[in-house]
Structure 1
Amino acid sequence: MTLLVDLAVSDRRIHSGGWRTPAQAGDIEDLEPATGRVLATVGLATAEDVDHAVTLATAAQSAWAATAPAERATVLRRAALVLEEHSAEVVEWLVREGGAIRPKAEHEVRSALDELWAAAFLPTLPHGELLPDTPERRSIGRRIPLGVVGVISPWNFPLLLAMRALAPALALGNAVVLKPDPHTPVSGGHVIAALFERAGLPDGLLHVLPGDAGPGRALTVHPDIAMIAFTGSTAVGREVGAAAGGALKRVSLELGGNNAYIVLDDADLDAAASAGAWGSFFHQGQVCMAAGRHIVLASVADAYIDKLVRQAEAMTVGDPWTSDAVLGPLINESQLAKVSENIRATVAAGARIRTGGTCAGLFHRPTVLTGVTPSMPAFTEEIFGPVAPVVVVADEEEAVAVANRTAYGLVAAVRTGSVERGLALADRLATGIVHINGQTIDDNAHVPFGGRGASGNGSRHGARQSQEEYTQWQWLTVRSAALPQPF
């Protein structure tokens, strides 16, 4: 089997009208976080490359929108088949480039496949409705493509979070300019370009431009970009939203989270501690849906903490490509420094490290903090590292108040022995998602996914929701003959 990603072809190049050298011939080394080895050298896009890509995309989009829906769906299905065929290769890139353990990488590939199959369903959905009107006129509301969609994707789930936006956008007749994060330019960029190239997507409809903030800004303010779909930090999302709003374009912001994991006094504590550890430590905590605050009723807090500590201490940390470690490395030194500083400041404010708190290179031990209060950094900030802060509360009333004491509103989870009790509590949580007797990290291609407040602007991903997101309404009226006007 030939490789999906041919580094000999893509070396020092970007994908825009084929593989080509960036306008300023810039490049960046793609490093393996676990070892520091150079995995590839990729082209680094500039604002000039963005402008060139948007011009090509604009020229190609109208013909793609006019393509029969079944033909567009076929391209998405072929892309899924190519990804299935090359899944082992893609898993290797996700492990080595992003520091993912193999099960996380395999899950990400399966989820990306779900996104492709779900997107292939979209072109053949009804895309309009007949509206009431006078007998001599037909009035139709129909959904039409936006035009060119800009997608800015992150490094933590690089394949999935790019695919979640670009697959439905393409399926619904748009062209896409994708700017993957420079930390994961292959698994979040080159892989996707190669998939759609092999699937037969017509030229000019997908451009992959790895880059830093410069091309991201250029994409956001470009007058011929109809929409920006951004997934990333809240701080950068505010900048993207402000720039896109100033340009009067649609923007979808999927941002950070500081998610509450609530443990009530009737919960199965063994199951709760296992799910809590998963929620805080999965992919080294580098997930917007991570359990950022374990809010535990006082009567069971000591027992829960002991079980959570045992879960953390049993976890192995190491190179995910050469070992069966449960946790891999953090993505880079900057992220490690942020995690370490948050722990240091929280302990200085009076919290206690029950386990963890140490690192070797980019490998950080899973950490449990106790004695955390709402004034401490581990409570107020999104840590994005393998840290489980525990907040003890007196009762359900205080649990709800503490859970809602945040600017974020992505997801919450409630552990309880009573579904009715969980449902009553869920009704009071100010989040876009609530899981009762689950954990905070959960998503699939068919649900309305999105947050509130600092977690996003309320837009939703998901199969049917994507049809709303990546198209716009047009009102169309038809008369068989012109109607005389008064003057």
Structure 2
Amino acid sequence: MTAQLKPVTETFEVRNPATGELVGTYPVHTAEDIAERLTKARAAQVWWGDLGFRGRKKRIQRWVRWLARDCDTLYDIGFRETGKPKPDVQFELLAGLEDLRWAAAHAERVLAEKRVAPGLAMLNFDARVSYEPLGVVGVITPWNAPVYTAFCGLAYGLAAGNAVILKPSELSAATGVYAVESFYKANPDAPEGLVTWITGLGDTGAALCRSGVDKLAFTGSVPTGRRVMAACAENLTPVLLELGGKDATVVAEDADLDAAAASITWGSMWNSGQACVGVERVYVVEAVRDEFLAKVKERAAQVSAGLEELSAIGPMTVPNQIEIVRRHVTDALEKGGTALVGGLESIKPPYVEPIVLVDVPEDSAAVQEETFGPVVVVNTAKDVDDAIERANGTSFGLGSSVFSKSHGPEIARRLRAGGTTINSVLTFVGMPSLPFGGVGDSGFGRFHGDDGLREFTRAKATTRKRFDMGEDMQVFPRTKEQFDVVYKVLKVRYGRRFR
């Protein structure tokens, strides 16, 4: 199923960031192209909505089975397009398939019409709430996790009954196109426009924001998120923003230090650190600092960068991101931080080898700004209270984690973040039953879980009068007798102490 409805003259290329190999050439779609797709999507959504929850579930499950059988194709596309090791592509696909499966399986439970209590004043009414599809939603995905974010956005948008227009990053267009076209290969009976892709640069994304879609879900950086929100505001288009992070981990005195070192090394280095929920800051209490650092040093020294299919980490996808890493490391070292592993010499474009910085001032760029590379800052805290205060000391609030054998839940409750993992890292991201999103500069709205399904619907209240109660408070005239009755009920009902 092609996304081109008419010839597009302007194109761009997608190349492997490490080798320069041409992966594909894609059209730059315009506002007019998007308008055509939106018209087709609105027509197709009627068919999709009429299928009901079970009809949609059947087709999404068929899609999941098709993707599982064709996984080698996606492994190859992801490896060639991003340079990331195939196990990382596999990890993304696994998470994406689980999102599709969960959303399809639970949409009816979460979104079907439900009867609710009408309350005393409206006792003679039947009250119900339903969650209706928005219509057509736009989904803009980033380059750092193109497989997962594409399937995640499609999963919840489609399961909730919407048509979806997907715009992948211009750096990872191939995976987005594959995700959409695979749906039609699994469901050839689906009408054109139900799921469609558009490609292009920033202007194409801006045109999608202004196109009149019924909601726009964006995953990406904070600056771009602000521009997306401003563009959507022109039509009062609601937005879901999953933005950057500066995730912190607290290592308490009673932590399992081996487990903490292993998890934090992986959590900060996987995908070459190019993850909004990657561990970027660690606050370890002073009592176990030296032992913990020794374990982190040993672990991080074993991580190497390369272009082999099973390398630990691959190249950086965007050259500009390498310069951000260089600036952050330089600033940290100039302000008094030290390098436990690596340093400026670890920056070898297109690769950045693991860098562990120690005792970096809290006002440095490496602590306050998103680095988005295989760099982690480990700072020493006097105690857990100090660690929590500093962990909450940035404008971000996406993910967090804590290592403590006895006080994990207590510490987790005090961390300002959309999700917290105890004695591991990032696990809430891979659980489709849990909501995923942030606070502060990390955005708002949620993917995943019941909340994620409801993000792509509008709540509708329906009431029906079942019987007359004799005295109707919603007609004129209002009598003195009626007032007196309600007066007494009010006193009895609300004037006593509640239990």
In the superposition, the TM-score normalised over structure 1's length comes to 0.90
Aligned residues: 465
Between the aligned partners of 2:50 and 2:312, the Cα distance in structure 1 is 48
One-letter amino acid of the structure 1 residue matched with residue 50 of structure 2: A
- Name whichever of 136-145 and 391-400 sits farther off: 136-145
Query: Residue 460 of structure 2 aligns with which residue?
Result: 474
Find the partner of 1:95 among 62, 79, 82. 79
Find the partner of 1:402 among 390, 409, 430. 390
* Contact 2:154-2:164 at 8 Å conserved across structures: yes
Cα 1:480–1:274 shift into 2, 3 Å = closer
One-letter amino acid of the structure 1 residue matched with residue 194 of structure 2: L
Cα 1:77–1:310 shift into 2, 3 Å = same
Deviations 1:175-208 (A, max 9, x none): 1111100111111333332333432332211110
Between the aligned partners of 1:307 and 1:407, the Cα distance in structure 2 is 30
Q: Does 1:316 find its partner at 2:301?
A: no
What are the within-5 Å matches in structure 2 for residues 270-309 of structure 1?
270-309=258-297
Post-superposition offset of 1:85: 0.8
One-letter amino acid of the structure 2 residue matched with residue 331 of structure 1: T
Q: Does 1:127 find its partner at 2:116?
A: no
Post-superposition offset of 1:109: 1.2
Q: Secondary structure at the match of 2:443?
A: coil
Post-superposition offset of 1:120: 1.6
One-letter amino acid of the structure 2 residue matched with residue 115 of structure 1: D
Deviations 1:296-352 (A, max 9, x none): 11222222222212212111211033xx32111000211111111211122222222
Q: Does 1:39 find its partner at 2:23?
A: yes
What are the within-5 Å matches in structure 2 for residues 156-235 of structure 1?
156-200=144-188, 201-223=190-212, 225-235=213-223
* Contact 2:421-2:427 at 8 Å conserved across structures: no
Cα 1:396–1:480 shift into 2, 3 Å = closer
Query: Residue 9 of structure 1 aligns with which residue?
Result: none
Query: Residue 411 of structure 2 aligns with which residue?
Result: 425
* Contact 1:333-1:362 at 8 Å conserved across structures: yes
- Name whichever of 19-28 and 440-449 sits farther off: 19-28
Q: Does 1:142 find its partner at 2:130?
A: yes
Between the aligned partners of 1:359 and 1:137, the Cα distance in structure 2 is 68
Cα 1:266–1:202 shift into 2, 3 Å = same
What are the within-5 Å matches in structure 2 for residues 323-334 of structure 1?
324-334=310-320
Cα 1:130–1:292 shift into 2, 3 Å = same
Give the gaps of 5 or more residues in structure 2: 478-499
Q: Secondary structure at the match of 1:292?
A: strand
Query: Residue 68 of structure 1 aligns with which residue?
Result: 52
Deviations 1:212-266 (A, max 9, x none): 211111111223x110111111111122223323422221111111011111122
* Contact 2:304-2:354 at 8 Å conserved across structures: no
Between the aligned partners of 2:288 and 2:442, the Cα distance in structure 1 is 30
Post-superposition offset of 1:276: 1.1
Post-superposition offset of 1:356: 1.7
Query: Residue 86 of structure 1 aligns with which residue?
Result: 70
Between the aligned partners of 1:237 and 1:48, the Cα distance in structure 2 is 23
Between the aligned partners of 1:138 and 1:394, the Cα distance in structure 2 is 58
- Name whichever of 192-201 and 75-84 sits farther off: 192-201
One-letter amino acid of the structure 2 residue matched with residue 181 of structure 1: S
Query: Residue 33 of structure 2 aligns with which residue?
Result: 49
Find the partner of 2:401 among 413, 417, 436. 413
Between the aligned partners of 1:293 and 1:193, the Cα distance in structure 2 is 39
Between the aligned partners of 1:395 and 1:260, the Cα distance in structure 2 is 15
Q: Secondary structure at the match of 1:427?
A: helix
Post-superposition offset of 1:132: 5.1
Between the aligned partners of 2:58 and 2:218, the Cα distance in structure 1 is 26
Between the aligned partners of 2:76 and 2:409, the Cα distance in structure 1 is 41
Between the aligned partners of 2:427 and 2:171, the Cα distance in structure 1 is 23
Between the aligned partners of 1:196 and 1:342, the Cα distance in structure 2 is 44
Deviations 1:33-65 (A, max 9, x none): 221111222222222222221121122222321
Post-superposition offset of 1:136: 7.5
Query: Residue 494 of structure 2 aligns with which residue?
Result: none
Query: Residue 448 of structure 1 aligns with which residue?
Result: 435
Alignment identity in percent? Answer: 31
One-letter amino acid of the structure 2 residue matched with residue 334 of structure 1: N
Deviations 1:4-32 (A, max 9, x none): xxxxxxxxxxx6xx342765422221111
Question: What RMSD in Å do the two structures reach over aligned CA positions?
Answer: 2.4
Q: Does 1:28 find its partner at 2:12?
A: yes
Q: Does 1:155 find its partner at 2:143?
A: yes
Query: Residue 352 of structure 1 aligns with which residue?
Result: 338
Find the partner of 1:439 among 422, 425, 437. 425
Point out the structure with max Rg over C-alpha: 2
Post-superposition offset of 1:158: 0.8
Between the aligned partners of 2:184 and 2:73, the Cα distance in structure 1 is 16
Cα 1:197–1:49 shift into 2, 3 Å = farther
Find the partner of 2:92 among 108, 122, 127. 108
